[in-house]
Structure 1
Amino acid sequence: MKLYYSPGSLGLAPHIALREAGLDFNLVRVDFRTKTTVEGDYFKVTPKGFVPALKLDDGEVITEAPVVLQWIADHSPERKLMPASDSPEHYRALEWLNYVATDIYKGYHTLFSPFLDVGSKLRYIEGYLGPRLSYLDEHLSKNEHLLESGFSVADAFLFNILSWSPRVRVDPSGFTALQQFIARMSERPSVQASLKAEGISLK
Protein backbone atom coordinates (compact mmCIF):
# COMPACT_ATOMS: atom_id res chain seq x y z
CA MET A 1 0.00 0.00 0.00
CA LYS A 2 1.26 3.47 -0.89
CA LEU A 3 0.28 6.88 0.44
CA TYR A 4 0.98 9.69 -2.00
CA TYR A 5 1.53 12.94 -0.15
CA SER A 6 3.26 16.29 -0.15
CA PRO A 7 4.71 17.62 3.13
CA GLY A 8 2.21 19.70 5.04
CA SER A 9 -0.64 18.94 2.68
CA LEU A 10 -3.89 17.06 3.28
CA GLY A 11 -1.81 13.89 3.18
CA LEU A 12 -0.86 14.41 6.82
CA ALA A 13 -4.23 13.24 8.21
CA PRO A 14 -4.25 9.83 6.46
CA HIS A 15 -0.53 9.52 7.25
CA ILE A 16 -1.38 9.84 10.94
CA ALA A 17 -4.35 7.50 10.57
CA LEU A 18 -2.27 4.80 8.88
CA ARG A 19 0.17 4.87 11.77
CA GLU A 20 -2.69 4.77 14.28
CA ALA A 21 -4.12 1.79 12.41
CA GLY A 22 -0.83 -0.09 12.39
CA LEU A 23 -1.14 -0.76 8.65
CA ASP A 24 1.90 -1.36 6.46
CA PHE A 25 2.43 1.39 3.89
CA ASN A 26 5.07 3.25 1.93
CA LEU A 27 5.23 7.01 1.51
CA VAL A 28 5.56 8.45 -1.98
CA ARG A 29 6.27 12.15 -2.11
CA VAL A 30 4.55 14.21 -4.80
CA ASP A 31 6.16 17.33 -6.24
CA PHE A 32 3.26 19.77 -6.42
CA ARG A 33 4.98 21.97 -9.00
CA THR A 34 5.80 19.26 -11.52
CA LYS A 35 3.12 16.71 -10.51
CA THR A 36 5.76 14.00 -10.46
CA THR A 37 7.07 11.41 -8.01
CA VAL A 38 10.11 9.12 -8.03
CA GLU A 39 7.82 6.79 -9.99
CA GLY A 40 7.12 9.37 -12.71
CA ASP A 41 3.95 11.17 -13.78
CA TYR A 42 1.59 11.53 -10.82
CA PHE A 43 -1.37 12.02 -13.14
CA LYS A 44 -1.01 8.32 -13.97
CA VAL A 45 -1.82 7.58 -10.32
CA THR A 46 -4.78 9.95 -10.20
CA PRO A 47 -5.92 12.26 -13.01
CA LYS A 48 -6.95 14.77 -10.34
CA GLY A 49 -3.31 15.44 -9.57
CA PHE A 50 -4.08 16.17 -5.90
CA VAL A 51 -3.04 14.51 -2.67
CA PRO A 52 -3.67 12.40 -0.76
CA ALA A 53 -4.07 9.27 -2.80
CA LEU A 54 -3.96 5.80 -1.29
CA LYS A 55 -2.93 3.04 -3.70
CA LEU A 56 -3.97 -0.37 -2.43
CA ASP A 57 -2.04 -3.57 -3.00
CA ASP A 58 -4.48 -4.60 -5.73
CA GLY A 59 -3.81 -1.36 -7.63
CA GLU A 60 -7.04 0.38 -6.66
CA VAL A 61 -6.56 4.09 -5.91
CA ILE A 62 -8.65 5.98 -3.35
CA THR A 63 -8.67 9.76 -3.27
CA GLU A 64 -10.28 12.58 -1.22
CA ALA A 65 -9.01 12.84 2.37
CA PRO A 66 -12.30 12.06 4.18
CA VAL A 67 -12.80 8.94 2.06
CA VAL A 68 -9.22 7.78 2.55
CA LEU A 69 -9.63 8.28 6.29
CA GLN A 70 -12.88 6.31 6.28
CA TRP A 71 -11.20 3.46 4.37
CA ILE A 72 -8.35 3.31 6.87
CA ALA A 73 -10.78 3.21 9.79
CA ASP A 74 -12.92 0.54 8.11
CA HIS A 75 -9.89 -1.67 7.52
CA SER A 76 -8.61 -1.50 11.08
CA PRO A 77 -11.81 -1.84 13.17
CA GLU A 78 -9.89 -3.10 16.19
CA ARG A 79 -8.20 0.31 16.50
CA LYS A 80 -11.60 2.05 16.82
CA LEU A 81 -10.66 4.99 14.59
CA MET A 82 -14.36 5.39 13.78
CA PRO A 83 -17.38 4.27 15.83
CA ALA A 84 -19.11 1.09 14.69
CA SER A 85 -21.19 1.66 11.56
CA ASP A 86 -24.39 0.57 13.31
CA SER A 87 -23.96 3.06 16.16
CA PRO A 88 -25.49 6.54 16.45
CA GLU A 89 -22.03 7.99 17.11
CA HIS A 90 -20.88 6.78 13.68
CA TYR A 91 -23.02 9.48 12.12
CA ARG A 92 -21.61 12.05 14.53
CA ALA A 93 -18.17 11.07 13.24
CA LEU A 94 -19.33 11.51 9.66
CA GLU A 95 -20.75 14.91 10.59
CA TRP A 96 -17.37 15.99 11.92
CA LEU A 97 -15.50 14.64 8.90
CA ASN A 98 -17.79 16.57 6.61
CA TYR A 99 -17.68 19.72 8.73
CA VAL A 100 -13.88 19.75 8.71
CA ALA A 101 -13.81 18.99 4.98
CA THR A 102 -16.22 21.75 4.04
CA ASP A 103 -16.30 24.59 6.56
CA ILE A 104 -12.78 24.32 7.96
CA TYR A 105 -10.71 23.00 5.07
CA LYS A 106 -12.35 25.23 2.49
CA GLY A 107 -11.90 28.20 4.80
CA TYR A 108 -8.18 27.58 5.20
CA HIS A 109 -7.68 26.65 1.56
CA THR A 110 -9.12 29.99 0.45
CA LEU A 111 -6.38 31.76 2.40
CA PHE A 112 -3.72 30.22 0.14
CA SER A 113 -5.29 31.92 -2.87
CA PRO A 114 -2.97 34.31 -4.77
CA PHE A 115 -6.04 36.20 -5.97
CA LEU A 116 -6.81 37.72 -2.57
CA ASP A 117 -4.79 40.52 -0.99
CA VAL A 118 -3.72 40.49 2.65
CA GLY A 119 -6.53 42.81 3.76
CA SER A 120 -9.17 40.63 2.13
CA LYS A 121 -7.74 37.54 3.76
CA LEU A 122 -7.75 39.14 7.20
CA ARG A 123 -11.40 40.16 6.79
CA TYR A 124 -12.19 36.64 5.60
CA ILE A 125 -10.54 35.15 8.67
CA GLU A 126 -12.58 37.40 10.94
CA GLY A 127 -15.89 37.06 9.13
CA TYR A 128 -15.82 33.45 7.92
CA LEU A 129 -13.29 31.40 9.85
CA GLY A 130 -13.67 33.16 13.20
CA PRO A 131 -17.21 31.94 13.96
CA ARG A 132 -16.35 28.40 12.86
CA LEU A 133 -13.23 28.26 15.01
CA SER A 134 -15.30 29.60 17.91
CA TYR A 135 -17.75 26.74 17.41
CA LEU A 136 -14.91 24.21 17.50
CA ASP A 137 -13.34 25.92 20.50
CA GLU A 138 -16.60 25.74 22.43
CA HIS A 139 -17.02 22.05 21.64
CA LEU A 140 -13.42 21.18 22.52
CA SER A 141 -13.66 23.13 25.78
CA LYS A 142 -15.94 20.30 26.94
CA ASN A 143 -14.37 17.39 25.06
CA GLU A 144 -10.78 16.26 24.56
CA HIS A 145 -11.65 15.03 21.08
CA LEU A 146 -14.34 15.72 18.52
CA LEU A 147 -16.15 12.55 19.58
CA GLU A 148 -17.08 11.80 23.17
CA SER A 149 -15.75 8.26 22.72
CA GLY A 150 -12.22 9.53 22.11
CA PHE A 151 -9.73 9.84 19.27
CA SER A 152 -10.97 9.26 15.73
CA VAL A 153 -9.79 9.97 12.21
CA ALA A 154 -11.81 13.20 12.41
CA ASP A 155 -9.29 14.48 14.97
CA ALA A 156 -6.40 13.72 12.64
CA PHE A 157 -8.21 15.62 9.89
CA LEU A 158 -8.85 18.66 12.07
CA PHE A 159 -5.28 18.68 13.37
CA ASN A 160 -4.01 18.56 9.79
CA ILE A 161 -5.92 21.71 8.85
CA LEU A 162 -5.20 23.62 12.06
CA SER A 163 -1.48 22.97 11.57
CA TRP A 164 -1.66 25.37 8.61
CA SER A 165 -2.55 28.33 10.84
CA PRO A 166 0.93 29.93 10.88
CA ARG A 167 1.18 29.64 7.10
CA VAL A 168 -2.05 31.57 6.48
CA ARG A 169 -1.93 34.09 9.35
CA VAL A 170 -4.67 32.51 11.42
CA ASP A 171 -4.03 33.47 15.04
CA PRO A 172 -5.27 30.74 17.40
CA SER A 173 -4.39 32.67 20.56
CA GLY A 174 -8.02 33.56 21.21
CA PHE A 175 -9.09 29.91 21.09
CA THR A 176 -7.73 28.25 24.21
CA ALA A 177 -9.41 24.87 23.71
CA LEU A 178 -8.17 24.67 20.13
CA GLN A 179 -4.63 25.37 21.28
CA GLN A 180 -4.94 22.63 23.90
CA PHE A 181 -6.29 20.24 21.27
CA ILE A 182 -3.30 20.94 19.02
CA ALA A 183 -0.94 20.38 21.96
CA ARG A 184 -2.61 17.07 22.87
CA MET A 185 -2.52 15.86 19.30
CA SER A 186 1.12 16.86 18.96
CA GLU A 187 1.97 14.47 21.81
CA ARG A 188 0.53 11.41 20.05
CA PRO A 189 3.31 9.09 18.81
CA SER A 190 1.56 8.71 15.44
CA VAL A 191 1.53 12.47 14.97
CA GLN A 192 5.14 12.90 16.00
CA ALA A 193 6.26 10.10 13.69
CA SER A 194 4.26 11.50 10.78
CA LEU A 195 5.60 15.03 11.24
CA LYS A 196 9.15 13.71 11.46
CA ALA A 197 8.75 11.56 8.34
CA GLU A 198 7.41 14.53 6.37
CA GLY A 199 10.02 16.91 7.75
CA ILE A 200 7.41 19.23 9.29
CA SER A 201 7.95 21.46 12.30
CA LEU A 202 4.99 23.17 13.94
CA LYS A 203 7.18 25.70 15.74
Structure 2
Amino acid sequence: MPNTLYYSPGACSVGIHIVLEEIGKPYELSLVNMKEGAQYKPDYMSVNPKSKVPALRREDGSVLTEFPVIATWLAKTNPDAKLIPTDLEGEIRAGEAMAYFTGTIHPYGFTRQFRPANFTPTEADIPKVVETGKAAADKYFSLVDAHWNEGDWVLPSGYSVADAALFFVEYWAAKRSGMTLPPRLAAHLQRMLARPAVKRALEQEGLAA
Protein backbone atom coordinates (compact mmCIF):
# COMPACT_ATOMS: atom_id res chain seq x y z
CA MET A 1 0.00 0.00 0.00
CA PRO A 2 1.28 3.48 -0.81
CA ASN A 3 1.24 6.34 1.69
CA THR A 4 -2.30 7.59 2.40
CA LEU A 5 -3.04 11.22 3.16
CA TYR A 6 -6.08 11.93 5.31
CA TYR A 7 -7.28 15.35 4.24
CA SER A 8 -10.20 17.75 4.16
CA PRO A 9 -10.57 19.95 1.06
CA GLY A 10 -9.01 23.36 1.61
CA ALA A 11 -7.77 22.56 5.10
CA CYS A 12 -4.10 22.85 6.08
CA SER A 13 -3.68 19.32 4.74
CA VAL A 14 -3.53 20.86 1.25
CA GLY A 15 0.09 21.74 2.03
CA ILE A 16 0.97 18.07 2.52
CA HIS A 17 -1.05 17.23 -0.59
CA ILE A 18 1.22 19.62 -2.49
CA VAL A 19 4.34 17.97 -1.04
CA LEU A 20 3.10 14.56 -2.21
CA GLU A 21 2.48 15.96 -5.69
CA GLU A 22 5.96 17.51 -5.74
CA ILE A 23 7.48 14.14 -4.85
CA GLY A 24 5.61 12.50 -7.70
CA LYS A 25 5.27 8.98 -6.28
CA PRO A 26 1.97 7.09 -5.97
CA TYR A 27 -0.12 7.91 -2.92
CA GLU A 28 -3.74 7.66 -1.90
CA LEU A 29 -6.19 10.23 -0.54
CA SER A 30 -8.74 9.55 2.18
CA LEU A 31 -11.39 12.23 2.64
CA VAL A 32 -12.22 13.42 6.15
CA ASN A 33 -15.38 15.50 5.82
CA MET A 34 -14.76 17.98 8.61
CA LYS A 35 -17.90 19.96 7.76
CA GLU A 36 -19.89 16.92 8.79
CA GLY A 37 -17.76 16.24 11.86
CA ALA A 38 -16.02 13.16 10.47
CA GLN A 39 -12.89 14.03 12.43
CA TYR A 40 -14.74 13.19 15.65
CA LYS A 41 -16.16 9.86 14.51
CA PRO A 42 -14.61 6.53 15.55
CA ASP A 43 -13.38 5.64 12.05
CA TYR A 44 -11.09 8.65 11.88
CA MET A 45 -10.27 8.86 15.56
CA SER A 46 -8.82 5.36 15.27
CA VAL A 47 -6.39 6.88 12.77
CA ASN A 48 -5.77 10.18 14.54
CA PRO A 49 -7.29 10.60 18.00
CA LYS A 50 -6.36 14.31 17.84
CA SER A 51 -9.30 14.72 15.42
CA LYS A 52 -7.22 16.87 13.06
CA VAL A 53 -5.86 16.71 9.55
CA PRO A 54 -3.42 16.07 8.07
CA ALA A 55 -2.53 12.54 9.03
CA LEU A 56 -0.36 10.26 6.93
CA ARG A 57 -0.63 6.49 7.04
CA ARG A 58 2.71 5.17 5.87
CA GLU A 59 3.34 2.07 3.83
CA ASP A 60 4.09 0.06 6.99
CA GLY A 61 0.72 1.02 8.48
CA SER A 62 2.07 3.48 11.05
CA VAL A 63 0.57 6.97 11.20
CA LEU A 64 2.25 10.36 11.41
CA THR A 65 0.44 13.50 12.54
CA GLU A 66 1.33 17.22 12.68
CA PHE A 67 2.18 19.13 9.51
CA PRO A 68 5.89 19.86 10.17
CA VAL A 69 6.60 16.24 11.09
CA ILE A 70 4.80 14.79 8.06
CA ALA A 71 6.42 17.29 5.70
CA THR A 72 9.91 16.68 7.11
CA TRP A 73 9.53 12.90 6.94
CA LEU A 74 8.29 13.03 3.34
CA ALA A 75 11.09 15.37 2.31
CA LYS A 76 13.87 13.42 4.01
CA THR A 77 12.67 10.04 2.73
CA ASN A 78 12.44 11.40 -0.82
CA PRO A 79 15.73 13.27 -1.16
CA ASP A 80 15.59 13.34 -4.95
CA ALA A 81 12.70 15.82 -4.72
CA LYS A 82 14.98 18.30 -2.92
CA LEU A 83 12.23 19.61 -0.66
CA ILE A 84 14.36 20.26 2.43
CA PRO A 85 17.95 21.48 2.84
CA THR A 86 20.49 18.75 3.47
CA ASP A 87 22.51 20.76 5.99
CA LEU A 88 21.45 20.93 9.64
CA GLU A 89 21.08 24.71 9.70
CA GLY A 90 18.87 24.68 6.63
CA GLU A 91 16.76 21.83 7.99
CA ILE A 92 16.11 23.52 11.32
CA ARG A 93 15.27 26.79 9.57
CA ALA A 94 12.71 24.90 7.50
CA GLY A 95 11.28 23.47 10.71
CA GLU A 96 11.28 26.88 12.35
CA ALA A 97 9.33 28.41 9.47
CA MET A 98 6.80 25.56 9.33
CA ALA A 99 6.25 25.76 13.09
CA TYR A 100 5.45 29.47 12.82
CA PHE A 101 3.11 29.10 9.85
CA THR A 102 1.24 26.10 11.23
CA GLY A 103 1.48 26.78 14.97
CA THR A 104 0.98 30.54 15.11
CA ILE A 105 -0.46 31.99 11.90
CA HIS A 106 -2.90 29.12 11.42
CA PRO A 107 -4.55 28.98 14.88
CA TYR A 108 -4.26 32.57 16.03
CA GLY A 109 -4.86 34.16 12.65
CA PHE A 110 -7.35 31.84 10.96
CA THR A 111 -8.99 29.41 13.35
CA ARG A 112 -10.39 32.50 15.05
CA GLN A 113 -11.82 33.63 11.73
CA PHE A 114 -13.20 30.28 10.61
CA ARG A 115 -14.41 28.93 13.96
CA PRO A 116 -15.02 32.01 16.10
CA ALA A 117 -17.62 30.29 18.28
CA ASN A 118 -14.80 28.17 19.72
CA PHE A 119 -13.34 31.29 21.31
CA THR A 120 -16.34 32.89 22.97
CA PRO A 121 -19.49 31.65 24.71
CA THR A 122 -21.28 34.83 23.64
CA GLU A 123 -22.68 34.99 20.13
CA ALA A 124 -22.56 38.78 20.15
CA ASP A 125 -18.76 38.63 20.50
CA ILE A 126 -18.22 36.49 17.39
CA PRO A 127 -17.53 39.48 15.08
CA LYS A 128 -14.89 40.70 17.53
CA VAL A 129 -13.22 37.29 17.51
CA VAL A 130 -13.13 37.31 13.70
CA GLU A 131 -11.62 40.79 13.62
CA THR A 132 -9.04 39.74 16.21
CA GLY A 133 -8.05 36.86 13.97
CA LYS A 134 -7.72 39.09 10.92
CA ALA A 135 -5.63 41.60 12.83
CA ALA A 136 -3.37 38.85 14.11
CA ALA A 137 -2.95 37.37 10.62
CA ASP A 138 -2.06 40.81 9.24
CA LYS A 139 0.54 41.25 11.96
CA TYR A 140 2.10 37.83 11.37
CA PHE A 141 2.17 38.20 7.59
CA SER A 142 3.79 41.62 7.93
CA LEU A 143 6.49 40.09 10.12
CA VAL A 144 7.21 37.34 7.59
CA ASP A 145 7.26 39.89 4.77
CA ALA A 146 9.63 42.20 6.64
CA HIS A 147 12.14 39.40 7.21
CA TRP A 148 11.89 37.87 3.73
CA ASN A 149 15.15 36.90 2.09
CA GLU A 150 16.12 38.19 -1.34
CA GLY A 151 15.00 35.03 -3.12
CA ASP A 152 11.67 33.72 -4.37
CA TRP A 153 11.09 31.18 -1.61
CA VAL A 154 10.89 31.01 2.18
CA LEU A 155 14.44 29.71 2.53
CA PRO A 156 17.44 31.27 0.78
CA SER A 157 18.40 27.78 -0.43
CA GLY A 158 15.27 27.55 -2.57
CA TYR A 159 11.88 25.89 -2.74
CA SER A 160 11.05 23.59 0.18
CA VAL A 161 8.31 22.13 2.34
CA ALA A 162 8.27 25.48 4.15
CA ASP A 163 6.74 27.03 1.04
CA ALA A 164 3.92 24.48 1.07
CA ALA A 165 3.25 25.42 4.70
CA LEU A 166 3.19 29.14 3.97
CA PHE A 167 0.97 28.56 0.94
CA PHE A 168 -2.07 27.31 2.77
CA VAL A 169 -2.33 30.35 5.07
CA GLU A 170 -1.67 32.70 2.15
CA TYR A 171 -4.38 30.90 0.19
CA TRP A 172 -6.83 31.23 3.06
CA ALA A 173 -6.07 34.93 3.38
CA ALA A 174 -6.53 35.70 -0.30
CA LYS A 175 -9.26 33.23 -1.25
CA ARG A 176 -11.34 32.83 1.90
CA SER A 177 -10.84 35.89 4.08
CA GLY A 178 -10.60 38.62 1.46
CA MET A 179 -7.36 39.87 3.00
CA THR A 180 -4.62 41.75 1.19
CA LEU A 181 -1.25 40.06 1.56
CA PRO A 182 1.91 42.16 1.85
CA PRO A 183 3.80 42.36 -1.45
CA ARG A 184 6.40 39.64 -0.97
CA LEU A 185 3.82 37.15 0.21
CA ALA A 186 1.39 38.11 -2.55
CA ALA A 187 4.17 37.40 -5.06
CA HIS A 188 4.99 34.12 -3.31
CA LEU A 189 1.35 33.04 -3.52
CA GLN A 190 1.32 33.67 -7.26
CA ARG A 191 4.53 31.67 -7.72
CA MET A 192 2.98 28.82 -5.78
CA LEU A 193 -0.23 28.91 -7.80
CA ALA A 194 1.86 28.63 -10.97
CA ARG A 195 3.53 25.39 -9.86
CA PRO A 196 2.12 22.27 -11.56
CA ALA A 197 2.07 20.33 -8.27
CA VAL A 198 -0.01 23.04 -6.63
CA LYS A 199 -2.41 23.17 -9.56
CA ARG A 200 -2.88 19.39 -9.40
CA ALA A 201 -3.50 19.37 -5.65
CA LEU A 202 -6.03 22.19 -5.85
CA GLU A 203 -7.83 20.55 -8.76
CA GLN A 204 -8.02 17.22 -6.92
CA GLU A 205 -9.55 18.98 -3.92
CA GLY A 206 -12.01 20.97 -6.01
CA LEU A 207 -10.43 24.31 -5.11
CA ALA A 208 -10.03 27.40 -7.24
CA ALA A 209 -6.53 28.33 -8.32
Residues 61-102 of structure 1: CA distance to partner in whole angstroms, max 9, x if unpaired? 111111111111011112111111x43222211111111122
Aligned to 1:89: 90
Aligned to 1:76: 78
Aligned to 1:103: 104
Aligned to 2:120: none
Q: Secondary structure at the match of 1:27?
A: strand
Alpha-carbon distance in 1 for matches of 2:174, 2:155: 26
Alignment of 1:41-190 (within 5 A): 41-84=43-86, 86-106=87-107, 107-115=109-117, 116-126=125-135, 128-140=136-148, 142-166=150-174, 169=177, 171-173=179-181, 175-190=182-197
| Higher share in helix | 2
Kept in 2: contact 1:2–1:56 (CA 8 A) = yes
Query: What is the alpha-carbon root mean square deviation over aligned residues?
Result: 2.0
Kept in 2: contact 1:172–1:178 (CA 8 A) = no
Aligned to 2:203: 196
- Show structure 1 runs of 5+ residues with no match: none
- Show structure 2 runs of 5+ residues with no match: 118-124
Q: How many residues end up aligned between the 2 structures?
A: 196
Kept in 2: contact 1:125–1:170 (CA 8 A) = no
With normalisation by structure 1, the TM-score equals 0.88
Identity, % of aligned positions: 34
Alpha-carbon distance in 1 for matches of 2:146, 2:96: 17
Matched letter for residue 96 of structure 1: A
Matched letter for residue 122 of structure 1: E
Q: Secondary structure at the match of 1:50?
A: coil
- 1:166/1:120 Cα in 2 relative to 1: closer, same or farther (>3 Å)? same
Matched letter for residue 101 of structure 1: T
- 1:133/1:55 Cα in 2 relative to 1: closer, same or farther (>3 Å)? same
Aligned to 2:22: 20
Alpha-carbon distance in 2 for matches of 1:19, 1:54: 14
Kept in 2: contact 1:13–1:160 (CA 8 A) = yes
Alpha-carbon distance in 2 for matches of 1:131, 1:23: 37
Aligned to 1:35: 38
Aligned-residue offset at 1:166: 4.6
Aligned to 2:4: 2
- 1:11/1:74 Cα in 2 relative to 1: closer, same or farther (>3 Å)? same
Alpha-carbon distance in 2 for matches of 1:89, 1:57: 28
- 1:168/1:197 Cα in 2 relative to 1: closer, same or farther (>3 Å)? closer
Alpha-carbon distance in 2 for matches of 1:168, 1:183: 16
- Higher-RCO chain (CA-CA 8 Å, sequence separation at least 6): 1
Alpha-carbon distance in 1 for matches of 2:178, 2:105: 12
Alpha-carbon distance in 1 for matches of 2:129, 2:16: 31
